[in-house]
A and B are shown apart, each in its own frame.
Chain A
Amino acid sequence: MTITRDEVKKIAELARLEIPEARIERMAGELSAVLDFAGALQRLDLEGCEPSVFAPADAPLREDALDDRRLSQSAALAAAPEAEQGFFLVPPIVENLAP
């Protein structure tokens, strides 16, 4: 199999997903099937093929000005599962350091 159970666990952690023990084996199988299928690309001659870029080259940059999309504090917090005094509230951040 292209993807092992351990790899499934590792990428699940990276993606902040939890795959029940019972389903890991099956997931590894399904992912491997797709990746094996993707192996077809190795048969494709990519000589002189640069990676595609789709955004147009002539896209203008933004001038340094304010626009009207700004939200009021109440609109910004309207959909929050939990908010108070203008802040979003989350369970305690124990990794007290961003990478």
Chain B
Amino acid sequence: MAHEAVIGLECHIQLNTRSKMFCGCPAEFGAAPNSNVCPVCLGLPGPLPITNRAAVDAAVRLGLALGCEVRGESVFARKHYFYPDMPKNFQITQYDRPLCEGGALPVRIGDTWRSFDLIRVHAEEDTGKSFHPERHGDRQISRVDFNRAGVPLLELVTQPVFRDPAECAAFLIALRRLVRWLGISEGDMEKGHLRCDANVSIRPAGTEAFGTKTELKNLNSIKGVEKGLTAEIARQEGVVKSGGRIEQATLLYDLDHDKLAIMRTKEHAHDYRYFPEPDLPLLRVDEAWRASARERMPELPWVRAERLVSRWGLPAYDAGILCEQRELADYFEALAAHGEPKLASNWLMTEVLRLLKERNWSLADWTAQVPVSRFAAFLKSVASKELPGPLAKQVVVWLADEPGDVPELLERHGSKVQSSAEDLMPLVRAAIDENPGPVSQYLAGKTATLGFLVGQVMKKSGGQAVPQTVKDMLEAELSRRAPAR
């Protein structure tokens, strides 16, 4: 009998505020251990928490962006459990009256948008860091650092709306994009800015009732989420197929060894003893606050994608790609304003994004070299055909590396004269005639020898020709000759 998986995600988003959630310590990373702490976040006897307005504002903006209902009055609560990285042995979080409820995140899968429903988004404080036991003289010890304790977190919980790991990965990518788009978090999973736990169960395909769920913790990369969930679903199917029952459990996924480890089963279920934090007043977010948050809200990615289609006539696919980064969408629209939107989209999605990927550049690195006006000029010369395709690809690389507008670049590389086929053709033909060996090897399918022939032509042109152009012309000429043999 075929099974389908039912998955819900619980994501923690670390905010990029200056100070911590409930005290005035730096929320930044990389300081010496236990040096970003004060009586409040170190859990000393006596101090009291004070809520960081900026962290609440970030929660409000995310909540509004997701279409949540943002409560005028929500409540901070204490969640109790003993763990060495918990300074107070309780966490200040939200429980039965969270700041944001409902809402959904639109996610582009292929070129269709899907919307995944949420249960809640609330604000809370992060824990410190405890390290794996290590040898210390004649015994084992663990180290604890409280710098991270009290750093602001948003917890986002989805409905059990996912049916396969790929959807979960797409959701997380979209969530990461959104928090960056809003500027509330760096959203880097590897750095722990975005963390994810998942609740997983399976049920006979087509049935409604939920199966017993397990909790998969610390899925801290997109890959980890996909592979971890795949492994757990397989495990559960295995248990069921062999006639067993799924036990409620908490599991850890080890990405390096693609292994699942059962950490805790229901017997040790926790009793968190939530109750309203008596040291903090009700959290009040009035309409004025919500209104100002709406005003400060950028056009959201999925809205913008639609507008790129309607305003600039792009295919939905292009719009989706260009809205992966707010900066990319901005850059595109600036270019589109100079005319040729589709051309701009094509060159950004292919050559420019490829170059960024190859060089591991951010879009900022690119725009520093190639401001809008410069790339717009390039697109014009492409549109006016004065820059043939192959040569244009070469020019994109030059734009990234050198100053000067298109004519200057061509000049510098001496490509002006020989950018036309007429000038180069004799050299190309000569190279072919003089090297029958490599030519026949090429025609026999050993295409690597093309590089040799390109070299020959370049030599003849005294290094003046454009390699990309030469390559294209050689290919054309050789294929023309092929049937002659």
Direct contact between the two chains A and B in their complex (CB within 8 A): yes
Q: Say whether A66 contacts B282, CB under 8 Å.
A: no
**Complex interface residues of chain B between 23 and 78 (CB less than 8 A to chain A):** 23-26, 32-40, 42, 50-56
Contact of B52 among A64, A97, A98, A99 (CB under 8 A): A64
Contact of A57 among B26, B52, B85, B282 (CB under 8 A): B282
The answer to whether the Cβ of A63 comes within 8 Å of any Cβ in the partner chain is yes
Given contacts A70-B26, A86-B32, A99-B81, 17 further A-B contacts (CB under 8 A): A56-B281, A61-B56, A62-B51, A63-B53, A66-B26, A67-B23, A70-B25, A73-B32, A73-B34, A76-B34, A76-B146, A87-B131, A88-B34, A88-B146, A89-B136, A89-B141, A96-B132
Q: Say whether A69 contacts B143, CB under 8 Å.
A: no
CB-CB nearest in chain A for B270: A99
Q: Say whether B54 contacts A64, CB under 8 Å.
A: yes
The answer to whether the Cβ of A14 comes within 8 Å of any Cβ in the partner chain is yes
The answer to whether the Cβ of A46 comes within 8 Å of any Cβ in the partner chain is no
The answer to whether the Cβ of A41 comes within 8 Å of any Cβ in the partner chain is no
Q: Say whether B280 contacts A55, CB under 8 Å.
A: yes
The answer to whether the Cβ of B483 comes within 8 Å of any Cβ in the partner chain is no
In the complex the two chains form, what is the Cα distance from A9 to B39 in whole Å?
33
Interface-facing stretch out of B271-279, B332-340, B419-427: B271-279
In the complex the two chains form, what is the Cα distance from A71 to B24 in whole Å?
11
* Binary flags per residue of A75-99, CB closer than 8 Å to B gives 1, else 0: 0110000101111111111111111
Query: Could you show 8 A-B contacts with beta carbons less than 8 Å apart?
Result: A14-B273, A53-B276, A62-B19, A62-B24, A70-B24, A76-B34, A88-B143, A99-B270
A interface residue numbers (CB < 8 A to B): 14, 16, 51, 53-57, 59, 61-73, 76-77, 82, 84-99
Q: How far is the CB of A67 from chain B (nearest CB, A)?
A: 3
* Binary flags per residue of B254-295, CB closer than 8 Å to A gives 1, else 0: 000000000110000011110010111110100000000000
Q: Say whether A88 contacts B144, CB under 8 Å.
A: yes
Q: Say whether A69 contacts B24, CB under 8 Å.
A: yes
CB-CB nearest in chain A for B275: A51
Question: A86 — which chain B residues lie within 8 A by C-beta?
Answer: 32-35, 145
In the complex the two chains form, what is the Cα distance from A28 to B71 in whole Å?
42
In the complex the two chains form, what is the Cα distance from A54 to B279 in whole Å?
9
Q: Say whether B279 contacts A76, CB under 8 Å.
A: no
Q: How many residues of B contact A (CB 8 A)?
A: 62
Q: With A16-B82, A73-B35, A88-B34 in contact, is A64–B55 under 8 Å at CB?
A: yes
Q: How far is the CB of B22 from chain A (nearest CB, A)?
A: 8
B interface residue numbers (CB < 8 A to A): 17-19, 22-26, 32-40, 42, 50-56, 81-86, 127, 130-133, 136, 139-146, 217-218, 250, 252, 263-264, 270-273, 276, 278-282, 284
Most buried by A among B42, B141, B280: B141
In terms of DSSP, what is the predominant structure of the interface of chain A? loop
Contact of B37 among A66, A76, A89, A96 (CB under 8 A): A76
In the complex the two chains form, what is the Cα distance from A7 to B58 in whole Å?
42
Q: Say whether B39 contacts A69, CB under 8 Å.
A: yes
Q: How far is the CB of A62 from chain B (nearest CB, A)?
A: 4
Q: With A57-B281, A67-B24, A96-B132 in contact, is A87–B19 under 8 Å at CB?
A: no
Q: With A57-B282, A77-B34, A98-B81 in contact, is A62–B142 under 8 Å at CB?
A: no
Q: Say whether A90 contacts B141, CB under 8 Å.
A: yes
Contact of B142 among A77, A92, A99 (CB under 8 A): A92
In the complex the two chains form, what is the Cα distance from A54 to B282 in whole Å?
10
In the complex the two chains form, what is the Cα distance from A82 to B136 in whole Å?
12
Q: With A64-B18, A88-B143, A97-B250 in contact, is A53–B281 under 8 Å at CB?
A: yes
Q: How far is the CB of B160 from chain A (nearest CB, A)?
A: 20
Contact of A64 among B19, B127, B276 (CB under 8 A): B19
Contact of B25 among A54, A56, A66, A98 (CB under 8 A): A66
Q: Say whether B142 contacts A53, CB under 8 Å.
A: no
The 10 A-B pairs at the shortest CB distance, nearest first, are namely A67-B24, A92-B133, A64-B54, A55-B281, A87-B143, A61-B53, A86-B33, A92-B140, A69-B38, A88-B144
Q: Say whether B24 contacts A87, CB under 8 Å.
A: no
Q: Say whether B18 contacts A66, CB under 8 Å.
A: yes
Question: B146 — which chain A residues lie within 8 A by C-beta?
Answer: 76, 88
Question: A84 — which chain B residues lie within 8 A by C-beta?
Answer: 143
In the complex the two chains form, what is the Cα distance from A64 to B56 in whole Å?
10
Question: B130 — which chain A residues lie within 8 A by C-beta?
Answer: 90, 93
Question: B22 — which chain A residues lie within 8 A by C-beta?
Answer: 62
Contact of A98 among B32, B54, B85, B132 (CB under 8 A): B85
Q: With A90-B144, A96-B263 in contact, is A76–B42 under 8 Å at CB?
A: yes
CB-CB nearest in chain B for A55: B281
In the complex the two chains form, what is the Cα distance from A63 to B27 in whole Å?
14
CB-CB nearest in chain A for B218: A97
Q: How far is the CB of B347 from chain A (nearest CB, A)?
A: 41
